[in-house]
Amino acid sequence: MPPIEKKRRRVILLAGGMIFGSSGCLSNLESLSGRDDRSRSTTDNQKPILEYVVLSNHHSEPHAVTLSIERQSETVHEQTYHVPQFDADSDVAGTKIIEPPTFDRERGDWTVGATLDSGSEQTRLDLTDVPHEGGCINVTVRITEQGKLTALNDTPDCTTTEKK
């Protein structure tokens, strides 16, 4: 390799090393100067994002489910959904998926409530203290084979909490 090529390569490597090597120092300088946006409330950044809610019917009859989604104790979505019955021929549950933009995809203290057939069964799942490794939570409101209502939350690390 000609000497000019070696010199050019060395300059590029040194410049790249200085940029990547000092990147952590630059972020520390920003935080020392008070310009670091990450110093804002880290508690809000640790709250989960509600990705979606699934209504899943494993019962042999169709049902109406009134779904209520709250964020910071404020109702952000409330609607009644008609969920088809379990299809025994294909072994598939009747399903409805509710996701943004039906409600905002934001971090917060989420609560999901459901009422089956105008009040015969109710469940409410408070997601405030549920661990959420990846920052998001998904909820399944399930109508069991016996026609009972349960709510499950699934997190990206595959832990599951059930509320009956």
- Higher-confidence position of 153 and 41: 153
User: Pairing relation of β-strands 136-143 and 121-126?
Assistant: unpaired
Q: What is the mean pLDDT of residues 99-113?
A: 87
What distance in Å separates the CA atoms of residue 36 and residue 28, rounded to the nearest whole number?
A: 9
Q: What is the mean pLDDT of residues 26-35?
A: 37
Query: Are the C-beta atoms of 94 and 112 separated by less than 8 Å?
Result: no
- Higher-confidence position of 109 and 27: 109
**How high is the pLDDT of residue 142?**
95
What 3-state DSSP class applies to 147? coil
**How high is the pLDDT of residue 67?**
96
109-157 tens-digit pLDDT: 999 999 999 887 899 999 887 777 667 888 999 999 999 999 888 765 4
44-85 tens-digit pLDDT: 667 888 888 999 999 999 999 999 999 999 999 999 999 999
Query: Residues near 122 by Cβ (< 8 Å), separated by ≥ 6?
Result: 113, 114, 115, 116, 149
**How high is the pLDDT of residue 143?**
94
Q: What is the pTM of this model?
A: 0.67
What distance in Å separates the CA atoms of residue 164 and residue 161, rounded to the nearest whole number?
A: 10
What distance in Å separates the CA atoms of residue 115 and residue 105, rounded to the nearest whole number?
A: 23
